[in-house]
A and B are shown apart, each in its own frame.
Chain A
Amino acid sequence: MLIEVIEEQSIPLTIVGLNGRMDSSNSREFEEKIVGLIQNGKTKMIVDCAQLQYISSAGLRVFLMAAKQLTMAKGKLVLSSLNDDVRQVFNLTGFSSIFEIRDSREDAMKSYDA
């Protein structure tokens, strides 16, 4: 799995792009990256899942952790561009109801405009 971090200066916010499969073999890497960003004060975050092909429960756990920590830090996490398989996992586990999910990266960025 590839993790790409982009600092969007205009708003400003942090966009984390995921590419590949996230399971227990690499979710820790994602966890460390996210925790590092939050500790560095990056509290407005979008995780772009357009290239995320698969997510296991270990990966969902990191999303959950990130959302809770960002909320505590008065920031927020918005997810964007989930493919159908990943979306189905979010629906089945009830995660759809606790995450802010947008159809595209642009929509996710707009959610920070207000």
Chain B
Amino acid sequence: MTQTGKLLPFKILVVDDEPDLELLIRQKFRRQIRAGEMMFAFAHNGVEALEILHQDSQIEMVLTDINMPIMDGLTLLGKIGNLDRMLKTVVVSAYGDMDNIRAAMNRGAYDFLTKPIDLNDLEVTINKTKQRIDFLRESEREHRLLVDIQNELNVATRIQRSILPCDFPPFPGIEGFELFAEMIPAKEVGGDFYDFFLLDENRLALAIGDVSGKGVPAAIFMAVTRTLLKSVALTGVQAGECLKQVNRMLSLENTSYMFVTLYYAILNIVTGEYQFSNAGHNLPYIISAEGSARELPAAAGIVLGIDENYEYQTETINLMPGDIIFLFTDGITESFNEAKEMYGDERLQRCLEHTGISGPKEIIRKVVREVSIHAGEEPQSDDLTMLAAKYHP
């Protein structure tokens, strides 16, 4: 649109009750008119001028005399000020008529010329006015761009919020576990997500992930990953096979070099069997019923989306009744304080250990509180995402 705009002529409305002016101007600017650089319209008083302005929204400059019949130039200036469009007015007044010139400037005139009009001066003034308008248009465009970016960020927030399950307890009537999850988005949305769903009456699927980068691209990549994961997981494959298939689909035609870390686990809520596979995500913690907390190691697997043939391992442990699996994203451990110190693994482990509380929700709330105290006034730069599940047969 902007490119075509530059090819359009600069349209100027000349308002003067003197008929000779039209001839003089057409003569002076004949080359620019022929070349399509300028276009002139003429009116003989303020009322005519307003009519023409209503009909032609592309006029960007008005050159007006002050003393005219029916509606004078100062009144016209006031009316133009109410039009709410990009329009610069240059007034023409008698030489030395400082009162009228001041009045015109106070009513929003952009510049003034004196009579008799010096056509060379007029040309300079027209060019200067055009440059000013081009500059204003450019500023306006940039402002709109900023607004668009802000809207885009809001879109990302909505995508992220709308697809994460947030009803707790999630599966009323099904016992054997307790579960809670929370995501606190950063101002500029990252691509964090979590998910949980039942594969069958005994098996609960848990997932947490983090897409590289931020904003709408990350949010869309996240939404795609989550959908792929769920559709593959529901076919009942083992954890590693599930990541392998999701990875293959994400890697094909991934030209943006985005990737996603993903930890996927399947908890048997009857037997306590806990099967998991990790694609480059932070290792979770396991918190025992006695209150000890330790990192739960997993084989290092590469992040999803970059090596389509990667084989992900499946590992299995057995949970003890009361064990809690705490999944999180690096927004937690890489939360900075004002001294640019990260919250870190050690603080997180201390926070999870011997809490004296035993519910997933309470534990997540405690971490949120402590991370917030650590961060102080430092703005949150990444999403904070956690999912905790307690085996509770």
Contact = CB atoms under 8 A, between A and B. Distances in A.
Given A61-B258, A64-B257, A95 B212 contact: no
A57 B261 contact: yes
Contact of A61 (B190, B212, B282, B340): B212
B280 A94 contact: yes
B229 interface: no
A54 B344 CA distance: 12
A58 B213 contact: yes
B138 interface: no
Contacts of B214: 24, 58
Interface in A21-52: 21, 23-25, 27
Nearest to A27: B213
B302 A98 contact: yes
B300 A56 contact: no
Contacts of A93: 261, 280, 302-303
Nearest to B283: A92
A9 interface: no
A94 B300 contact: yes
Which of under 10, 10 to 19, 20 to 34, or 35 or more describes the interface residues of A?
20 to 34
B300 A98 contact: no
Interface in A71-107: 91-98
Secondary structure at the A interface, as helix, strand, loop or mixed, is helix
Given A24-B213, A58-B214, A91-B300, A98 B306 contact: yes
B364 to A, nearest CB: 22
A64 B342 CA distance: 25
A95 B307 CA distance: 11
B65 interface: no
A25 B381 CA distance: 9
B143 to A, nearest CB: 21
Contacts of B334: 54, 56
A64 B281 CA distance: 17
A29 B257 CA distance: 16
A110 interface: no
Interface in B309-343: 310, 330, 334, 340, 342
Contacts of A92: 280-283, 300
A60 interface: yes
Interface of A: 21, 23-25, 27, 54, 56-58, 60-61, 64-65, 68, 91-98
Given A64-B306, A93-B280, A94-B310, 10 more contacts: A24-B188, A24-B214, A57-B213, A57-B261, A92-B300, A93-B261, A94-B280, A94-B300, A96-B300, A97-B302
29 contacts: A24-B214, A54-B334, A54-B342, A56-B330, A56-B334, A57-B210, A57-B211, A57-B212, A57-B213, A57-B259, A57-B261, A58-B212, A61-B212, A61-B259, A64-B259, A92-B280, A92-B281, A92-B282, A92-B283, A93-B261, A93-B302, A94-B279, A94-B280, A94-B310, A95-B280, A95-B302, A97-B302, A98-B302, A98-B306
